[in-house]
């Protein structure tokens, strides 16, 4: 319990620090927001008025707290680039709102693929005594890790989209219209995100299991008459999974980042695509919130992994 | 069959294959600064979308440009950009790692917390943050990735300096009154390079992947300069008509990355064998 409280306090401190950094980073950007909205030919009075309206005349500390307060209330400010109509600015929250589920769905499907394929593959690999198979898996995973996710996306598009015609590239259907249609489209980008991670996780699990194989408890299990199969699944796997859990936590962070690129390949209207286009058009309020959001996800996942680790392995919390 | 397995287990095979793969790519890249089979921007309306042939071994693109020539130029760009990234990050890593590792103290504590934090984030995300502040373009990619990859070197260099700072020969040098700067860079530094090489090769790998990813997204190397990433992004539009375009630029990236991965694995195994 004491541990959990300590962890939560660290979590909050980190989130605070990150938000300060995100805020500061976008304060030092060269170029003036007011000029970029009004253009260079606006009168000084108009510029002054807009500056007041946007709250830019206040000191940075005040602005940080009003910004952070608004973010906590769910008010993320307005996009510079998009507007609802002539007189109404586009709130960032609305802009992100319908893009977030796409990215989260993609990440979730990828994660399921990784867990479902990599763990059995790793166990199978660790148990296999066939040297040829070992060489093939070793070479295959090494190659899979060298393929960047965006190229994998292009390959998947070519193979499944153009040659086999299992899906129509660029024909994304919104999850609001057709949920299962959307899932079946997302399966292909998810495959592109998952393949290198599957290779990494399988390698990692295999090595972890081979290390565990030399442990005393394995010898004990064998001498008690447990079959090789039983030892592998009931004794070794449980212990070998410990480091893999941390590894999978890091993978989640990478999936979130990796899907930024893959969304672009498959034309998915997720936050990755929004982030890239906002960076290109220098739409800072959007970039700021997206960076903050992704960072929060990463930090939160690490927090969960840390806590989960103690739940799975009670030996750690006793120390 | 057994022979193939045994051959793959051989520590030197990794190194040799990796060296051959990266060596070929780097040579083609350097060659492209002086000579390419065709002009990299020479367009030809009559030769649009020609498949791979003896005339154009990787085929031609939507403007009738020779893809092999452009791939060569792309490798050249990638090699230069990633070398600069590795140079910046490894250089800064050595400097920071040496000082924090050797002297320790509060500064060390603070810097380690910061590097831990940066290390735990996906590199492309951090690079995007820097790019969004600095703006896109080749120089900014080099700069931002240079910063982003620095912590990984700091970690390695620091732990090596901690291991060596109390070694007998360093104590001796200190007793003899050798200046601190000299101890750091003349007495300790040469001894960490065997470990350092592994991270340099991995660093190349990460730099190439990140650079091509950012160029693919259109925030890295800009047209008309060819880079493997922006070629792949162009090629995607003609995937049905000219699949060789996407394959030649994409597989080149895989080739180089795999080459560096094998190279670092080879170096690592060699060192383990030595110990």
pLDDT in tens, A155-164: 998 888 888 8
Residue B220 inside a domain? The answer is yes
pLDDT digits (tens, 9 = 90+) for A134-145: 889 988 998 888
Q: Does B267 touch chain A (CB under 8 A)?
A: no
Residue B137 inside a domain? The answer is yes
Quick one: closest CA in B to A134, which residue?
A: B5
Per-position b or e across A100-118, b if 16+ CB within 10 A of its CB: ebbbebbbebbbebbeebb
Judge whether B187 and B178 are in contact, CB under 8 Å: yes
Residue of B217, B239, B260 best to disrupt the A interface, most CBs of A under 10 A: B217
Q: Min CA distance, B181 vs chain A (Å)?
A: 34
Write down the pLDDT at residue A112.
92
d(CA A110, CA A113) in angstroms, rounded, equals 5
**Interchain contact, A146 vs B136, CB within 8 Å:** no
DSSP state of A188: H
Q: Which residues contact B205 (CB under 8 A, 6 or more apart)?
A: A146, B257, B260, B261, B264
pLDDT digits (tens, 9 = 90+) for A212-245: 888 888 888 888 888 888 888 888 888 888 888 8
**Interchain contact, A162 vs B213, CB within 8 Å:** no
Integer CA distances (angstroms), A135 to A194, B12, B252, B254, B271, in order: 22, 15, 23, 19, 22
- What is the average pLDDT value for chain A, to the nearest integer? 82
Quick one: closest CA in B to A136, which residue?
A: B5
d(CA A317, CA A311) in angstroms, rounded, equals 8
The residue among A97 and B70 whose pLDDT is bigger is B70
Take residue B192 and report the two structure tokens written for it.
Answer: 């960490």
Q: Which residue has the tokens 């002086």?
A: B34
Alpha helices, DSSP H only, in chain B?
Answer: 2-9, 11-31, 67-103, 105-119, 123-134, 138-165, 168-175, 180-182, 193-216, 228-236, 243-274
Q: Is the dihedral of CA A229, A231, A233, A236 positive or negative?
A: negative
d(CA A206, CA A300) in angstroms, rounded, equals 28
Residue B141 inside a domain? The answer is yes
Write down the pLDDT at residue B254.
92
% of chain A exceeding 90 in pLDDT: 9
**Interchain contact, A257 vs B122, CB within 8 Å:** yes
Q: Which helix (DSSP H) or strand (DSSP E) does residue B166 occupy?
A: none
A26 contacts in chain B (CB < 8 Å): 133
A148 contacts in chain B (CB < 8 Å): 209, 212-213, 253-254, 257
B129 contacts in chain A (CB < 8 Å): 25, 291
- Alpha carbon A161 to its chain centroid, in Å, reads 25
Per-position b or e across B234-252, b if 16+ CB within 10 A of its CB: bbbebbeebbbbbbbbbbb
Integer CA distances (angstroms), A131 to A208, B3, B5, in order: 18, 10, 6
The residue among A28 and B190 whose pLDDT is bigger is B190
Residue B48 inside a domain? The answer is no
Q: Write out the E strands in chain A.
A: 78-83, 89-91
List the 113-172 stretch of B: residues with Cβ below 8 A of A: 120-122, 124-125, 128-129, 131-133, 135-136
% of chain A exceeding 70 in pLDDT: 93
| Cross-chain CB nearest to A151 (options B120, B254, B261) | B254
Write down the pLDDT at residue A319.
46
**Interchain contact, A154 vs B128, CB within 8 Å:** no
d(CA A284, CA A262) in angstroms, rounded, equals 22
Residue of B128, B136, B209, B260 best to disrupt the A interface, most CBs of A under 10 A: B128
What integer is the mean pLDDT of A73-101?
Answer: 77
Residue B69 inside a domain? The answer is yes
Low-confidence ranges of chain B (pLDDT < 70): 1-11, 274-275
d(CA B61, CA B53) in angstroms, rounded, equals 13
3-state secondary structure B24-78: HHHHHHHHCCCCCCCCCCCCCHHHCCCCCCCCCCCCECCCCCEHHHHHHHHHHHH
Residue B4 inside a domain? The answer is no
Identify the top-confidence range among A88-92, A108-112, B192-196. Answer: A108-112
The residue among A129 and B92 whose pLDDT is bigger is B92
Which residues constitute the domain of residue B236?
13-39+61-274
Residue B115 inside a domain? The answer is yes
CATH number, domain containing residue B108: 1.10.3720.10
DSSP state of A159: I
Residue B54 inside a domain? The answer is no
What integer is the mean pLDDT of A170-192?
Answer: 83
**Interchain contact, A135 vs B8, CB within 8 Å:** yes
Work out how many domains chain B is built from and give that number.
Answer: 1
Q: Which helix (DSSP H) or strand (DSSP E) does residue A22 occupy?
A: helix A2-25
Is the predicted pLDDT of residue A286 greater than 90, yes or no?
Answer: no
């Amino acid at each position: 319990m004491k541990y959990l409280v300590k962890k939560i306090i660290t979590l909050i401190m980190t989130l605070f620090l990150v938000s300060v950094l995100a805020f500061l980073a976008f304060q030092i950007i060269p170029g003036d927001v007011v000029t970029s909205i009004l253009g260079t030919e606006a009168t000084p009075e108009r510029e002054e008025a807009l500056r007041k309206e946007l709250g830019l005349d206040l000191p940075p500390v005040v602005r940080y707290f009003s910004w952070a307060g608004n973010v906590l209330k769910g008010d993320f400010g307005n996009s510079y680039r998009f507007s609802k109509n002539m007189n109404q600015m586009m709130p960032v929250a609305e802009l992100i709102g319908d893009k977030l589920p796409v990215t989260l769905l993609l990440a979730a499907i990828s994660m399921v693929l990784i867990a479902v394929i990599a763990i059995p593959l790793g166990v199978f690999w660790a148990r296999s005594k066939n040297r040829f198979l070992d060489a093939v898996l070793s070479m295959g995973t090494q190659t899979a890790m060298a393929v960047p996710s965006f190229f994998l996306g292009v390959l998947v598009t070519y193979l499944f989209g153009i040659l086999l015609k299992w899906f129509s590239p660029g024909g994304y259907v919104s999850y609001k219209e057709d949920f299962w249609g959307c899932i079946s489209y997302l399966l292909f980008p998810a495959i592109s995100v998952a393949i290198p991670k599957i290779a990494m996780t399988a390698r990692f699990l295999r090595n972890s299991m081979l290390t565990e194989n030399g442990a005393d408890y394995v010898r004990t299990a064998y001498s008690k008459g447990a079959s090789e199969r039983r030892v592998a699944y009931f004794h070794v796997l449980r212990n070998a999974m410990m480091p893999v859990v941390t590894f999978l936590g890091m993978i989640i962070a990478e999936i979130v980042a990796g899907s930024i690129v893959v969304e672009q390949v498959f034309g998915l209207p997720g936050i990755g695509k929004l982030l890239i286009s906002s960076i290109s058009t220098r739409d800072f309020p959007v970039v700021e919130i997206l960076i903050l959001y992704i960072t929060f996800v990463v930090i939160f996942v690490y927090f969960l992994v840390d806590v989960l680790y103690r739940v799975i392995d009670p030996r750690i919390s006793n120390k | 069959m057994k022979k193939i397995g045994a051959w793959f287990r051989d520590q030197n095979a990794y190194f040799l294959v990796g060296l051959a793969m990266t060596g070929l790519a780097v040579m083609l890249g350097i060659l492209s600064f002086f000579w390419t089979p065709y002009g990299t921007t020479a367009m030809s309306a009559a030769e649009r979308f020609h498949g791979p042939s003896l005339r154009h071994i990787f085929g031609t693109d939507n403007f009738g440009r020779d893809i092999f020539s452009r791939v060569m130029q792309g490798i050249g760009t990638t090699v230069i950009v990633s070398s600069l990234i590795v140079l910046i990050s490894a250089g800064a890593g050595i400097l920071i790692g040496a000082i924090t590792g050797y002297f320790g103290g509060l500064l060390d504590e603070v810097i380690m917390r910061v590097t831990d934090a940066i290390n735990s984030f996906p590199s492309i995300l951090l690079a995007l943050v820097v790019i969004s502040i600095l703006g896109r373009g080749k120089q900014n990619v080099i700069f931002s990735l240079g910063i982003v990859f620095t912590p990984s070197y700091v970690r390695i260099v620091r732990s090596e300096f901690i291991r060596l700072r109390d070694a007998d020969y360093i104590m001796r040098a200190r007793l003899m009154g050798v200046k601190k700067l000299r101890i750091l860079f003349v007495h300790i530094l040469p001894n960490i390079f065997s470990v350092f090489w592994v991270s340099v090769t991995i660093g190349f790998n990460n730099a190439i992947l990140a650079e091509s990813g950012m160029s693919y997204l259109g925030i890295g190397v800009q047209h008309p300069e060819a880079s493997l990433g922006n070629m792949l992004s162009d090629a995607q539009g003609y995937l049905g008509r000219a699949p060789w375009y996407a394959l030649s630029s994409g597989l080149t990236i895989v080739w180089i990355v795999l080459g560096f991965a094998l190279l670092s694995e080879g170096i690592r195994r060699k060192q383990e064998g030595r110990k």
